[in-house]
Amino acid sequence: MHDPVTRFRPFLNTDPPALADLWNRGLPEHCVVRPLSVHEFDALVIGTLPFEREGLIAAERDGARVEIDEDTRANARAENERMAGEALRVLGVAYGEARDDTADDLVWLGLVGMADPLRPGTPELIATFHRAGIKTVMITGDQSATAYAIGRQLGLSGEERLEILDSSQIERIEPELLSALAQKVDIFSRVSPANKLQIVQGLQRAGKVVAMTGDGINDGPALKAADIGVAMGNGGTEVARSVADVVLRDDELQTMILAVSQGRAIYANIRKSIHYLVSSNLSEIGVTFMAVAGGLGQPLNTMQLLWINLLTDVLPALALSMDPPEPDVLRRPPRDPHEAIIRRQDFARYGLEAAALTAGTLGAYGYGLMRHGPGANASTLAFMTLTLGQLLHARACRSDNLGLFSHERLPENRWLSGALLASGALQLATVLLPPLRGLLGTTAIVPGDALAVAAGAGLPYLLIEAMKRSPTKD
């Protein structure tokens, strides 16, 4: 947050020169407790509610000191609540004579309200976390009224009711009850360092994956206990950085949402590469098995199968691992950490896509058998159709939701575009260059055969794109 903007509000009719001198000494700005030897008093006391102290004196009036009565204390409490409701951190100020590091006969001065404004864009950042399915919880030492006001400004609860728990008595709460409360509470106020660890453990017992941010020495136990401890790199202590799993070098919370986006993208890209490799290899098995089982002969020779594996399994799969994050990556709920990287329903999808590629290839191969009969010409059609179909399929594997028929477009993957262009050019060379034709047993393709190859490779791609479900909505 930005540097504090301090406001001093004298509550009682205190001597104006004394208040002016207090302001000029910079106490509200720096909020330090120190002796003021050049003033009419030599000890200054600052606390959350010093007017609650017995023996506190209101002010000197005509040389006499009058003790604060209950009505005055009640008014001070009300003023404290009002200032706290404006998201101010409130301190009470009194002065007196210093005796052995203590001050007696304190004279009440007033309340100091320190505003720590939110950084621009912080409420929007919290909303982004919520859209990503990440619940945000504020743990603070502020009093409840201040914490509640700040929580409302942040939008911690979204559209729901803001729930706050005063943690001053949290040690007395049973662990099971704390776990249940932790799932519903948005703000924990009046938190001590030990409370932070209890809150983190309570959320973990409830089955939550907890990321904890902190920068102080007292944050160390909670940072270490959290599933992901996040420390501040510039303003944080060495203790916090040493026990944290992640250190934010710029101390910006926006970096966390970028890290979430990139982390989800990396995991998704691993799934994309597996998706592509499994479905493509299943299609090769399907083409060979179905053709042989149907008495159509062997559509692909050994060299052609080896070429397909080298051409389609390497460059496109690597390029998919470099895919940029999808536009809806931060509109998806977090995945179950115990979930397998390949789910049961994924195998059904892979099988369906492999069947589409197999059908397209066998269709082109059947056309070649009818037109040219068994031999190199028909085999070339199957070879070209399957290879080009797999290259197109690499584009379909970029997203389970977005694709050719979606209103929202995927960001361009230059690595994939380059890989497909290079692989496509090499594949065309197998029917254009005589040395490669001799090596792979292919023949030149006439225009009619080219149309069959285009249909056999393109129709499965269009079908797979049409089967994609609608993307997640905001």
Condensed to tens digits (0 to 9), the pLDDT of residues 225-242 reads 999 999 988 877 888 889
Residue 282 pLDDT? 95
- Of 353, 345, 385, the closest CA to residue 279 belongs to 353
Output the DSSP codes for 364-431: HHHHHHHHH-TTHHHHHHHHHHHHHHHHHHHHHTT-SS-STT-SSPPPP-HHHHHHHHHHHHHHHHHH
Q: What six digits make up the tokens of 21? A: 């001198």
Residue 98 pLDDT? 56
Are the C-beta atoms of 449 and 381 separated by less than 8 Å? yes
Residue 51 pLDDT? 54
Name the one residue in this structure whose structure tokens are 């049961």: 344
Name the one residue in this structure whose structure tokens are 């916090």: 240
The whole-number mean pLDDT for each consecutive block of 10 residues of the chain, a chain of 474 residues, reads 37 36 33 38 49 59 69 80 82 67 64 81 91 91 87 88 86 86 89 86 91 88 92 84 88 87 94 95 94 91 92 90 92 88 91 96 94 92 96 94 86 94 94 92 91 95 85 44
Q: What six digits make up the tokens of 423? A: 């692989």
| Spatial strand order in the sheet of 187-189 | 138-139, 187-189, 164-166
Are the C-beta atoms of 381 and 453 separated by less than 8 Å? yes
Confidence (pTM): 0.77
Alpha-carbon gap, residue 3 to 235, rounded angstroms:
13
Condensed to tens digits (0 to 9), the pLDDT of residues 315-330 reads 999 999 999 999 989 9
Residue 350 pLDDT? 95
CA distances from 110 to 6, 56, 68, 72, 114 (A): 14, 12, 12, 11, 13
Q: What six digits make up the tokens of 369? A: 């058998």
Q: What six digits make up the tokens of 337? A: 């950490």
